[in-house]
Each structure stands twice: as structure tokens, then as C-alpha cells.
Structure 1
Amino acid sequence: MLSSKRIARALLLAALPALGQAAPFVDVLDLPAQHSELAVRSPLLAVTHAGARLVSVGQRGHILYSDTAGQTWQQAEVPVSADLNAVHFPTPAQGWAVGNDGVILHSVDGGRSWQKQLDGRRIGALMVEHYAALAAAEPEQPRWAELLAEGQRFVDEGADKPLLGVWFADERTGYAVGVFNLILRTSDGGRHWQPLLDRVDNPQGFHLNAIASTGDGLYIVGEQGLVLKWDAGRERFTSLPSPYQGTFFGVIGRPGEVLVHGLRGHVFRSRDGGRNWQALDSGLQVSITAATLDAQGHYRLFTQAGHLLRDDGNALQLLTQAQQAPVAGAVAVDDGLVLVGGHGVRRLTTQ
């Protein structure tokens, strides 16, 4: 009779081939996000309102939603595991999220479930098709050949181009922006997306980090001081005089006013549509990574180290907090703010 040690050894040897087999590769664009009780404490990169609901997106395809002003959260059904960088809801029901690998997701139920509309495996082909048609129609125009070559580069390099910002005017018309001047527009709710690289004053192909509306203007900010504004008459994003040559991470505003913020604590305000800018001294050398308007109408700005600044209309004031942690996104609720970042969600009572 075999000893217990010999039996155990035989069983182990029999199992070795199975243990040595690697799991088959599944692309994150085809792998649904995994449900986890720890998702609310996992890295989250953006948060927004969907009517009275809050929706937050983050790493590994995690999307959370809250109907209790951020006190409790539920995890949504998401068809991808790619990191998600931005989210926007033009209506309480209809919303879009974008992220790495060129992914664009759409929800029709306030963020409870999501469907994939586009990913980076198809973006290059869209660019090639679009700019090949323009090149054929206008062969004397060298710009079309340049953009056609750019589209082919996207095809050759695969689905590795992150989308970093998204904004929709309504249920039909919206934009997604990302690295290397990547910008897409839809006019049918995302059923079809059109490359818009030829409608942007960004000849050096700087990254487009964020897009937002102030109510009377649509702005994009990006690398090396890039600030763009949609010109409806010319049907393009035109460059504005930049107050800073460093990278901007965000843009926020309201009718008659726009703020841009970015590296090393830089914040600038314009009250004339971006023609002139006023520097707001943050007193910090830390990048400002998130901003929102609170319930009282004050701008609240946050740094990658978790500092909180309040704008009273004339200057920035640094506020103390009981707890300080990096912030990637923020929204106002009735009794304060809901913040998201590397440690998930937290609530902050405003001062």
C-alpha cells in the first residue's frame, strides 16, 4: 500500500501540468468589469451627476452609482475592464464614459448598466475611412494625406490610445477627446462617431486632457498651455491665447466665466470668453487635478496631494481639512462635496 506521503506526491505531480497552463488571454475590451465589495475603495478617476444620482468611474472598468448623495454605492454592469477616465450625463438617464484603449461606453438607465459603443480597435479604421474619402475628394490638400497617415498609425499601433474627456450637449450631440489630438464627435447619440482632428487648432498634436461647457462656450484644455474654444461659425475648435505654457488638466465655468487649472498650482480665470486671463494665486506648487462648483456657487479646487482651495470670486483660499487625500474628481451635494481618488470615495462637509 502506498504511504500517505507517496499518495500526496503522486497527486501533486498529476496536478503540475494543469497548474503550469496559463489562463487564456482576454482583452480588457472584451472582459466585463469584476464585481467587488472593495470597488468603493478602489481608485476612481471621475464623478458626475446623473440627475439626482451620482455616477463615478475608475480603474478596471469600475462604475459606481449612488442614490444617497454618496453615502452608499452600488456597482454597475460594465462590459469592459479598461480603466475609465471621464463620465458625463446630459440627462438623468443618458450618459457616456470614456477611458483607456479608446473605449466609449453608453448608459440609458442612469448608469446602472452600460454598453460599449466604440473602442480603440475601430478608431483607427474610422480615421482611415474618413480621411481617405476627403483625400480622394481633394487630392491637392496635403492635410488629408497627413491625417490619413495618422489614422493608419492608429491602426498599426492598435487599441492603446486613451480617451481622457467626454461632454454631451444633449442625447445626440457629443464629443470625446484624448491623446495625440484625438477627438471624435457624434450627432446620433454615439451610433456613429466621426474623427474631428481636422477641426482643431492643434498642429503639434498635443494631448487633449479635458472638455467642458460653461453654458456659453465649449472649451478643451491640454498639454503645453493648450486652450481651445468651439467656434460655431467656423465649425472648429480654435486656439485661445494661453496664459501658461504648462499642461492644463481641467476646465470649469459658468456663463460669463471660465477657469482653467493644471500643473504646479496654476489657475487662471477669464471673463471675456478666453481672450484675456487673470492668474489666481493658489500658493501651492502642486498640480490641481479636480474642480467643481459647490452648492453656494463657489469654485472648489483640489490638488493631487488633496489640498482644498475655495474661490470667493477674487482670490483662492486654502482650507484646512480633517482628512487629506489625493482627489481626481469632485461634485457638490446638498450638505457638502463627494470626492473620488486613489482611495475611492469620501464625503466632505463644506466650509
Structure 2
Amino acid sequence: MYFLKRCTALMLTWAALQGVAQATPYMDVLDMPATPSALATVSALRDVTSAGTRLVAVGPRGHIVYSDDNGKQWQQARVPASADLNAVSFASAEQGWAVGNDGVILHSSDGGVSWQKQLDGRVLGEQVLAYYRAQAQTAPNDDRWAALIGEGERLVQEGADKPLLDVWFADEQNGFAVGVFNLLLHTQDGGQHWTPWLERSDNPQALHLTSLASVDGALYITGEQGLLLKLAADGQHFTRLSIPYTGTLFGAVGKPGALLAFGLRGNVLRSTDGGQHWQPVSTGLSNSITAASLDSTGQLWLLSQAGDVLISHDDGVSFAQLSQTVRTPVTGAAFAAATDLVLVGERGVRTLDVE
């Protein structure tokens, strides 16, 4: 009898739970505000940058946190979506953008305290398709448009799943966002409108675009299979650079006269002529280099997936590894002060005193 009663109770409980589940409406992460969490700074974060003297970091579930004391204390920002965020960029102390999965682009006009959604993957495909259909009407003899219309149709069919991996702004109006399968967007009005630039990259295989980096007045895009693009002098298209490496590149960093591209298994390449010629740099690592930074004195820093920290005192010709008592995986890095290197990764935020 007890067994029958228990089974009946379990069945009734399950039915009640099913009713609750059915009564709870589904909410897309693109419409669901990020949930405040006391664990936001010890959970995964993927990128960090400076907004004036403030630090701003982004990560999964729409988490954005900011610090006004060089990374010692953090507050969580108000974010209108819960999509995973991959990168953040500020053009000034107030104006910033963050991008992530589901084609989401967020904008802040108050230094990262609050954010508004500018674009998401549900409408991105339709906008790409409409743009290339319009181009085909104005230039019907251009063979490029048929393939690009097809790409737009594919994006529409796939729905919101369009990861954007990086964002960069030259100023408060002009910027780029990049993502998977050659997804390249450009804005000239602070992100109010984003124009597809798929045909303006020398990437016929539609390889993933992993990062944007501005070095010595030039803009570079890194990607998989040794893809490295540079914005042409006319500012209208990205041309491919020839490099002696065929693995995935995760980013680029540099200063006048020294450009570094870094990627899988500790691979780093160095150029002193804006990407025309390259030489490999020995890092002594087999771990992937996943982040980089330039400090106030012009020294170059590289960070690895395993938490290795490397510094160069000779403009990237050679690197020395810093001894650390604690190592955590690193996906983003930024200097908060001359001696404070703030790192983010799968275990949240940590600050490294590099004095």
C-alpha cells in the first residue's frame, strides 16, 4: 500500500511540475536581461578592456562587470540580454560596444554601467539578405551578388545562431565586428546601422574571423588556417597577408615597428614592415597564446590558455616567462595601472602585480 501511495504521489508531483513547465513561457536569451550574480567575477569571463580609467569585462550569460579601482572591486552592469558575450571595445571613456553569440551587439553610452541592444542574430540574416539583394539590383552584371544572396539566405535559415567574436572602434562612429564564416560588419554611425562587408575581405573559403587589432595605425583581422587580413590604404577592403603559418590565429598586438600575430600551441610571428615579411618567435610554450597586451612603457605581453605570462623587453624579438604562484586560463588582458595586469578567463578575474 505504501508503495502504491508513493507512486501515486510521485505521479501527481510530476504532473504538477509538467503543468508549471507548460505554464512558464519560453524567453529567448536575446530578450532576457542578464541575471545579477554575486559570482559574476569568479565565473567565466572572456574579455576585458579599459574605458578611460574604468575596467570593463564581459562573459557568458550576458555578464558585464566594471571596476573603478584597478580591478579590486567590481560591479555588475545592467544588460538587456543573456547571450554569451565574447568581446568588448571602448572608443572613449563613455562609448563602448560588446558582441557575442546569437549575433548580439550591445552599446553603452555611460562607460559600461548600462547597455542597450543594437542588433541580434534574429534580424541580422534578414539585413544581410536585403543588403545583397539591393546590391544585385544596382549592379546586376556583378557575379558576386548571387553567392552573397545565397549566404544571406543561409543566415536567415539558421536563425539567431551567428557568433560574433570581436569588435573594434576607431572612434565613436566608425567600427567593425567579426565572427564565424567570414561574418564581417561595418558601421559609420556608432552602431545604429551595420553594413555587411562579406565581399570586402580576401577570404574566399569563408574562414572564421577571430579578432580585430589596431597596430601602428593599421587594422588587422586574424582567423583560422593562418588567415591574416589587413585593411587596405583606401579603407574599403581587407587584403590577405602571406604568413609562414597555417594554424589558427587568435589575435595580434604590437607597436610602431613591431607587429606580432599569435595562435595555437605557442606560435607567434613577428613583422617589422607592416606584415610584408615575417619571422617566427620562440616562446618556449606548447600552450595556445590567447591574449596579449601592451603596457605604458611599450613592453609586449602574451598570455596563454594555461595561464602562462610572457613579457618582451626587446619589441617582441624574444620573451621571458614570469614566475607565478597561481595560474588560471587567460582569454583577455588589460593594464589597469602601470603595475597591475588584469586577467580574465574561465575562473573569472585575477590581478597580477608585474612591478
TM-score by length of 1: 0.95
Whole-Å Cα distance in 2 between the matches of residues 254 and 91 of structure 1? 20
Structure 2 residue 16 is the aligned partner of structure 1 residue 18: yes
Deviation at 1:10, TM superposition (A): 9.6
| Aligned residue among 319, 322, 331 for 1:319 | 322
TM-score by length of 2: 0.94
Query: Aligned residues: percent identity?
Result: 56
- Aligned match of 2:147: 146
C-alpha contact 2:50 2:336 (8 A) present in aligned 1: no
Structure 2 residue 353 is the aligned partner of structure 1 residue 349: yes
Deviation at 1:311, TM superposition (A): 1.3
Q: What SS does the corresponding residue of 1:330 show, helix, strand or coil?
A: strand
Q: What SS does the corresponding residue of 1:176 show, helix, strand or coil?
A: strand
C-alpha contact 1:294 1:336 (8 A) present in aligned 2: no
What are the Cα deviations for residues 285-341 of structure 1, in whole angstroms up to 9, with x where unaligned? 111001011233211111111111111222011221111110010111222200000
Q: What SS does the corresponding residue of 2:181 show, helix, strand or coil?
A: helix
C-alpha contact 2:53 2:93 (8 A) present in aligned 1: yes
- Aligned match of 1:3: none
C-alpha contact 2:84 2:101 (8 A) present in aligned 1: yes
C-alpha contact 1:240 1:274 (8 A) present in aligned 2: yes
Q: Within 5 A, what are the aligned runs for 1:1-351? A: 16-21=14-19, 22=21, 23-233=24-234, 235-313=236-314, 314-334=317-337, 335-351=339-355
Q: What SS does the corresponding residue of 1:296 show, helix, strand or coil?
A: coil
Gaps of 5+ in 1: 1-6
Deviation at 1:133, TM superposition (A): 1.0
What are the Cα deviations for residues 231-268 of structure 1, in whole angstroms up to 9, with x where unaligned? 13261001111221100001112233321100010011
Q: What SS does the corresponding residue of 1:134 show, helix, strand or coil?
A: helix
What are the Cα deviations for residues 79-125 of structure 1, in whole angstroms up to 9, with x where unaligned? 11111000000100000000001100000000000000000111111
Whole-Å Cα distance in 2 between the matches of residues 39 and 160 of structure 1? 24
C-alpha contact 1:103 1:116 (8 A) present in aligned 2: yes
C-alpha contact 1:295 1:333 (8 A) present in aligned 2: no
Would the alpha carbon gap of residues 49 and 18 (structure 1) be closer, same or farther in structure 2, given more than 3 Å must change? Answer: same
C-alpha contact 2:55 2:336 (8 A) present in aligned 1: no
C-alpha contact 1:50 1:89 (8 A) present in aligned 2: yes
Whole-Å Cα distance in 2 between the matches of residues 143 and 10 of structure 1? 65
* Residue range with higher mean Cα deviation, 63-72 or 254-263: 254-263
Q: What SS does the corresponding residue of 1:150 show, helix, strand or coil?
A: helix
Whole-Å Cα distance in 1 between the matches of residues 17 and 332 of structure 2? 42
Q: What amino acid sits opposite 2:267 in the alignment?
A: H
Whole-Å Cα distance in 2 between the matches of residues 151 and 212 of structure 1? 27
Deviation at 1:126, TM superposition (A): 1.0
Q: What amino acid sits opposite 1:250 in the alignment?
A: G
* Residue range with higher mean Cα deviation, 137-146 or 219-228: 137-146
Deviation at 1:136, TM superposition (A): 1.6
Gaps of 5+ in 2: none
Q: What amino acid sits opposite 1:114 in the alignment?
A: W
Deviation at 1:131, TM superposition (A): 0.6
Would the alpha carbon gap of residues 29 and 255 (structure 1) be closer, same or farther in structure 2, given more than 3 Å must change? Answer: same
What are the Cα deviations for residues 55-94 of structure 1, in whole angstroms up to 9, with x where unaligned? 0000100000000100000000001111100000010000
Whole-Å Cα distance in 1 between the matches of residues 14 and 112 of structure 2? 44
